[in-house]
């Protein structure tokens, strides 16, 4: 018997160390995820004690009756497609530039990263003020240059509002990927670059055949992280437009929130959440497998 | 000119590269554009409403209207929101790091049957966006009767912070040589002792990087606070700013003063500890 308890004890200690984190994580992150699936098959108004099972009615409602859902989905897709490309191209260019031998690099890096640590809701406030139709920076600038014809109500015009919000997002998010790219560039072997130079490779050659292949894992990480970040776009839209005008900047994460928390139709809100979670899982699960493998391999 | 004497020369070349100079000039221009929003809000915050509406938007303020800050502090209830922000951050951040470190140690160094599955479970959580499921989180916190309380916001914050921190610390602990902990185990030390005496001290650099990152993230968090802290007495700074923005949107000077007061703590922390930010962000994401 002592033999058995000897081998069981360290394992028990392990579970004791693990328990607090695991319990909190399961209760407040994993359980809500399961709960939202259950909720999406029921009707609940947020007040009554019980919920009725309604089958697929919520899904049918959001797909066929909800006038906002498809617009929100379209906006989310557009936003995501732009968010994984535009800001990251800028970040990549910045990182490549800041990796060169130029003066003042650390100061420049601080400037580009600063918006990342600003609360998104403050970014929203700042940009909302810059977009102010009467006293904001943009319309004042246009007036100054005599471009009165270009003056717009940036957040009030349903044709441009989403893109106006996106520009603010771009300003905020470029620094984040830039730092990841810079870290990736540190991993590009200097000897390899020099060897390629000596072999007569030009700027483009070095970039194409040395730098880019070495950056492959970083590109993957940046791609997935910005994809996830764009799916959860919430604060900035909430703060700048609240989904308006006329739902033209509505997105799925916020539409799920609006339905549940403001309109009190938790079942429909949950169905929207589930759709969004499924999209997330499709992207995330292969990535996690890749991370897991890499972690295993490095051991 | 010592700063410039070696600059603009590509690796392994003694000549100044004109392309690099052009690149540098465009970087400076872009940086100026990047910083313009900050300059604009500082200018506005120091102007009276009459000046904002009367004079050109780019003019620096002539008479500095510092009273905007005092007025915004008072009208925006900053003493309450700042206090709540401090309480929540000061409890959540160290507590989260401590329990994450414990879990990461157990996963990395204690042989358990479920190690792999549990690690995968945490890894999954690093990618779970809580903005997508605010209502079920609200429901869960409500089930515990914790809406409008500090524990009610701290627990979900912990739950969504733990996976990333466990992941980073797991990677760090895994890289620690086996001999270090095994020698201590032979001497009869329990895992609790080894964790506290050996692993916690050696992980201080990683912990401080995570601490800084998590401080800013917690301080700035908005969506979760929006659903859980509905009583204005419990609001944090971002909630206070949002409400200020919707109530007093045409008091331009005060609104911008409120924005500045909201972002200043995080900005100061960032400027003081910038190298930790980079370390904390990249140690997990871009690992060799």
B274 or A235, greater pLDDT: A235
Mean pLDDT of B89-93: 96
User: Residue A290: is its pLDDT beyond 50?
Assistant: yes
Q: What is the DSSP string of A116-156?
A: HHS-HHHHHHHHHHHT-TTTSHHHHHHHHTT-GGG---TTT
User: Residue A8: is its pLDDT beyond 60?
Assistant: no
Among the ranges given (A4-13, A37-46, A185-194, A199-208), the one the predictor scored with the smallest mean pLDDT: A4-13
pLDDT of residue A3: 40
Q: Which member of B26, B27, B135 has the closest CB to residue A261?
A: B135
Question: Among residues of chain A, what percentage have pLDDT more than 70?
Answer: 96
Q: Which member of B110, B128, B156 has the closest CB to residue A33?
A: B128
Q: Is A62 on the interface with B (CB under 8 A)?
A: no
- Dihedral sign for Cα B267, B273, B275, B281, please: negative
Mean pLDDT, chain A, as a whole number?
Answer: 86
Mean pLDDT of B188-205: 88
At A293, list the tokens: 């493998």
Whole-number Å distance between alpha carbons of B113 and B259: 51
Neighboring chain A residues of B99 at a CB cutoff of 8 Å: 20-21, 24
Chain A interface, best mutation among B7, B116, B133, by max A CB count within 10 A: B133
Among the ranges given (A129-133, A270-274, B32-36), the one the predictor scored with the smallest mean pLDDT: A129-133
Give the CATH class of A69-249.
Answer: mainly alpha
Report the topology of domain B75-285.
MetI-like fold (1.10.3720)
Question: Among residues of chain B, what percentage have pLDDT more than 70?
Answer: 92
Strands A52-53 and A42-43: antiparallel
Q: Is B46 on the interface with A (CB under 8 A)?
A: no
Contact A101 B20 (CB under 8 A): yes
Per-residue pLDDT of B13-22, as tens digits, reads 667 788 888 8
Per-residue pLDDT of B113-172, as tens digits, reads 888 889 989 988 888 888 888 999 999 999 999 999 999 999 999 999 999 999 889 988
Q: What is the band of B272 on the pLDDT scale with cuts at 50, 70, 90?
A: confident
pLDDT of residue B285: 52
Minimal-distance CA residue of chain B relative to A179: B278
Return the bridge partners of A42, or none. A53
A22 or B246, greater pLDDT: A22
Mean pLDDT of A133-139: 83
Mean pLDDT of B245-254: 86
Angle at A170 between CA A167 and CA A171, to 5 degrees: 90
Minimal-distance CA residue of chain A relative to B219: A119
pLDDT of residue B12: 61
A168 or B175, greater pLDDT: A168
Q: Which member of A13, A36, A137 has the closest CB to residue B110?
A: A13
Q: Where are the domains of chain A?
A: 69-249
Per-residue pLDDT of A97-123, as tens digits, reads 998 888 888 889 999 999 999 999 999
Q: Is B107 on the interface with A (CB under 8 A)?
A: yes
Neighboring chain A residues of B4 at a CB cutoff of 8 Å: 103
Phi and psi, residue A42, nearest 5°: -135, 170
Q: Where are the domains of chain B?
A: 2-71, 75-285
Contact B136 A234 (CB under 8 A): no
Contact B124 A284 (CB under 8 A): yes
In B224-263, the residues whose Cβ lies within 8 Å of chain A are 226-227, 237-238, 241-242, 245, 252, 255-256, 258-259, 262-263
Neighboring chain B residues of A95 at a CB cutoff of 8 Å: none
Contact A280 B107 (CB under 8 A): no
Q: What is the band of A2 on the pLDDT scale with cuts at 50, 70, 90?
A: very low
Contact A256 B222 (CB under 8 A): no
User: Residue A56: is its pLDDT beyond 90?
Assistant: no
Q: What is the band of A148 on the pLDDT scale with cuts at 50, 70, 90?
A: confident
pLDDT of residue B282: 66
Q: Is A29 on the interface with B (CB under 8 A)?
A: yes
Per-residue pLDDT of A155-198, as tens digits, reads 888 888 999 999 999 999 999 899 889 888 888 888 888 888 88
Per-residue pLDDT of A198-216, as tens digits, reads 888 888 888 888 888 888 8
pLDDT of residue A165: 93
Q: Is A25 on the interface with B (CB under 8 A)?
A: yes
Q: Which member of A35, A190, A221 has the closest CB to residue B136?
A: A35
Q: What is the band of A6 on the pLDDT scale with cuts at 50, 70, 90?
A: very low
Per-residue pLDDT of B216-234, as tens digits, reads 999 999 999 999 999 999 9
Give burial (CB, 10 Å; 0-12/13-18/19+) of A184: buried
Q: Is A263 on the interface with B (CB under 8 A)?
A: no
User: Residue B288: is its pLDDT beyond 60?
Assistant: no
Mean pLDDT of B86-114: 93
Q: What is the band of A230 on the pLDDT scale with cuts at 50, 70, 90?
A: confident
The distance of B66 to chain A (nearest Cα, Å) reads 19
B47 or A7, greater pLDDT: B47
């Amino acid at each position: 018997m002592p033999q058995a308890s000897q081998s069981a004890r360290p394992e028990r200690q392990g579970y004791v160390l693990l328990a607090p984190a695991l319990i909190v994580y399961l209760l407040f992150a994993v359980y809500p995820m399961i709960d939202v699936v259950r909720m999406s098959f029921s009707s609940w108004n947020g007040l009554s004690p019980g919920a009725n099972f309604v089958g697929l009615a919520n899904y049918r409602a959001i797909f066929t009756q909800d006038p906002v859902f498809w617009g929100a989905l379209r906006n989310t897709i557009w936003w995501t497609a732009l968010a994984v490309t535009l800001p990251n191209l800028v970040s990549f260019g910045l990182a490549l530039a800041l990796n060169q031998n130029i003066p003042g690099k650390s100061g420049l890096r601080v400037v580009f990263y600063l918006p990342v640590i600003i609360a998104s809701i403050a970014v929203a406030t700042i940009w909302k003020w810059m977009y102010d139709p009467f006293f904001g920076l943009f319309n004042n600038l246009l007036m100054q240059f005599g471009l009165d014809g270009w003056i717009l109500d940036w957040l009030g015009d349903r044709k441009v509002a989403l893109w106006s919000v996106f520009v603010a997002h771009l300003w905020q998010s470029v620094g984040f990927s830039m730092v990841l790219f810079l870290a990736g560039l540190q991993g590009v072997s200097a000897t390899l670059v020099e060897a390629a130079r000596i072999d007569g490779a030009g700027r483009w050659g070095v970039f194409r055949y040395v730098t880019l292949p070495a950056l492959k894992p970083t590109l993957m990480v940046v791609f997935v992280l910005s994809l996830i970040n764009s799916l959860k776009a919430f604060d900035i839209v909430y703060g700048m437009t609240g989904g308006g005008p006329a739902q033209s900047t509505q997105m799925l994460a916020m539409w799920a929130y609006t339905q549940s928390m403001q309109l009190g139709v938790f079942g429909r809100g949950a169905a929207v959440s589930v759709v969004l979670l499924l999209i997330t899982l499709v992207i995330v699960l292969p990535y996690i497998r890749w991370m897991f493998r890499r972690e295993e391999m490095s051991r | 000119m010592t700063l410039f004497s070696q600059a603009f020369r590509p690796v392994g070349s003694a000549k100044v590269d004109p392309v690099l100079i052009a690149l540098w000039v465009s970087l400076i221009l872009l940086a100026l554009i990047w910083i313009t929003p900050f300059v604009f809000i500082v200018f506005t915050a120091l102007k009276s409403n009459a000046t904002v509406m009367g004079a050109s938007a780019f003019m620096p303020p002539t008479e500095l209207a510092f009273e905007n800050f005092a007025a915004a502090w008072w009208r925006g209830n900053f003493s309450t929101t700042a206090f709540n922000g401090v309480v929540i951050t000061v409890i959540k951040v160290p507590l989260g790091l401590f329990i994450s470190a414990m879990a990461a140690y157990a996963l990395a160094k204690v042989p358990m049957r479920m190690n792999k599955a549990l690690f995968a479970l945490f890894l999954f959580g690093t990618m779970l966006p809580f903005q997508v499921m605010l209502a079920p989180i609200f429901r869960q916190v409500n089930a515990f009767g914790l809406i409008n309380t500090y524990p009610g916001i701290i627990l979900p914050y912990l739950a969504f912070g733990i996976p990333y921190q466990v992941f980073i610390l797991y990677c760090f602990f895994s890289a620690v040589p086996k001999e270090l902990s095994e020698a201590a185990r032979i001497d009869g030390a329990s895992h609790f002792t080894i964790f506290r005496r050996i692993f916690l001290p050696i992980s201080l650099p990683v912990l401080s990087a995570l601490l800084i990152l998590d401080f800013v993230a917690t301080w700035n968090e908005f969506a979760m606070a929006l659903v859980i802290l509905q009583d204005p007495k419990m609001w944090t700074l971002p909630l206070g700013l949002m409400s200020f923005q919707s109530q007093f949107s045409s008091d331009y000077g005060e609104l911008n003063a409120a924005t500045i007061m909201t972002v200043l703590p995080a900005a100061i922390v960032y400027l003081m500890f910038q190298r930790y930010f980079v370390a904390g962000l990249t140690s997990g994401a871009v690992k060799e």
